[in-house]
Amino acid sequence: MKPSLNWDSFRQKAFESGFSACSFAPADQLDDLRPTFLEWIDSGKAGEMGYLERNVDLRLDPGKLIEGAKTVISLAAPYYYPLDEHVAGNPRISRYALGNDYHEILRARGHELLDWINKEIGPAKGRVFTDSAPVFEREWARRSGLGWIGKNGCLIIPKQGSYFFLTEIITDLDLSTLLSSGLPSSSSSRLPSPGLSSDLLPPHCGTCTRCIDSCPTGALAGDGSMDPRKCISYLTIEHKGDIPEEFHGKWSDWVFGCDICQDVCPWNSKPFQSMIPELAPRSGLMEITGRTMEGMDEATFMQLFDGTPVKRTGRTGILRNFAFLNRKSE
C-alpha cells in the first residue's frame, strides 16, 4: 500500500466514480438475521418473489460469494433529479426508473473502484453487486454506518436522504487494517467495530409517521418492515397476475413503482441530486400521457422503455397496470 493512502483518498475516488457516500464493514456472517428472515419468508410476505427464498446461505455469508471475504464496501449512488409537477391523469413512473437501467451503469463504476483498489492498495479478489445477487444491501450499508433503516424501509443517509441505489464490493482485503489512518470521526462514514452499537447510526425518524400515514395501501408496519404484497411497487412490478380488487382506487396514476413514502419523508426535503448523467430522466418518459398508453404497441413500448428498468414488466404488464387504474368500479 502507498504510504500516503488513507480513507480520504479512498472516499475521494468513490466520489469521482459517482457515489456520494461510502463506508465499509467486516464481512462477517449475518446469522443473527436468519430467524427473522426465515420467519418473514414463511409468513408468505415475499409474495411472488420466489428468488428471495433461494440462496439463503449466500445472503447470510459473504464468504460464499467471495472466498476469504474480509470486507464489504457499501456505496450509495443518488438517482434524484428534479421533475416537473405531475399532471393528474398522466401515468406515473418511479423516479429511479426514468433513466437508463442502473444495474450495468453502477456495476461498471463499482469495477472502476475495484480496479483502483487493486492498483493503489494491493491485489484483491472482489465482486461488485448492484441489486444483482443475494446480498442484504441495506443491512450491509447500515452495519457500515452509512445510515439507518427508516420507517419506510429505505436506507436514510444523514443530509442526503434516501433516493439512492446501493452498490457493494465484497473483497478479500482487510480494509480496516489497510485504511486505518485518516478515518473521519463522523459515524456516517467511519468503519464500525463489530458488536459496538455506538458505532452505528441509530434511527432518526423520531415520532414522524408521514410515510406510514401516506401509504395508501397500508404496506408499512412502522418498524422498518413492510408487507410487499400491499406495496404499489410490488403490485405494479413483481406481481404477475391480476391486481387484487381490494387495491382498486387506492393509488393515483402509478403504472410502474411508487415514490410516495420517499416523497413525504422530511429527510428528502433537500435531496442529494445524482452525479451520474446516464441516470437522468429520459425526455420521452416525462411526456407520457394516457393516450400514449392506450395506443401503445410493442414497437412504441420498446422505443420508450428499452434500456430502462421499466422494460422488466413488458408491455403487457404496464398496460395491465394502466387498465387497472382506469377501470370503473363494478
Q: What is the rounded CA–CA span in Å between residue 17 and residue 113?
A: 7
Q: What is the pLDDT of residues 67-124, one digit of tens each?
A: 999 999 999 999 999 999 888 889 999 999 999 999 999 999 999 999 998 888 878 8
Q: pLDDT-based confidence at 186, cuts 50/70/90?
A: very low
Stretch (H or E) spanning 230: none
Domain end among 175, 199, 223: 199
Q: What is the rounded CA–CA span in Å between residue 80 and residue 191?
A: 27
pLDDT(192) > 50: no
Q: Which of 131, 199, 227, 253 is catalytic?
A: 131
pTM here? 0.90
Q: What is the rounded CA–CA span in Å between residue 40 and residue 21?
A: 30
pLDDT(193) > 50: no
Are 109 and 68 contained in the same domain? yes
Cell numbers describing residue 213: 400515514
Q: What is the rounded CA–CA span in Å between residue 26 and residue 24?
A: 7
Strands (E), 90-163: 92-93, 126-129, 148-149, 155-156
State the burial class of residue 134 (Cβ atoms within 10 Å of its Cβ: 0-12, 13-18, 19+): middle
User: If you ran DSSP here, which 8-state letter would residue 64 be given?
Assistant: G
Q: pLDDT-based confidence at 287, cuts 50/70/90?
A: confident
Are 160 and 307 contained in the same domain? no
Domain coverage including residue 228: 210-265+280-326
Are 74 and 143 contained in the same domain? yes
Asked about 131 being catalytic, the answer comes back as yes
Among 265, 259, 258, 263, residue whose Cα is nearest residue 233: 258
- Contacts within 8 Å (CB) and 24+ apart, 207-211: 208/151, 208/266, 209/151, 210/264, 210/265, 210/266, 211/150, 211/151, 211/152, 211/260, 211/261, 211/262, 211/264, 211/265
pLDDT(191) > 90: no
Domain end among 167, 199, 231: 199
Are 93 and 222 contained in the same domain? no
The Cβ-side half-sphere exposure at 146, using a 13 Å CA radius, reads 34
Give the count of domains, the chain: 2
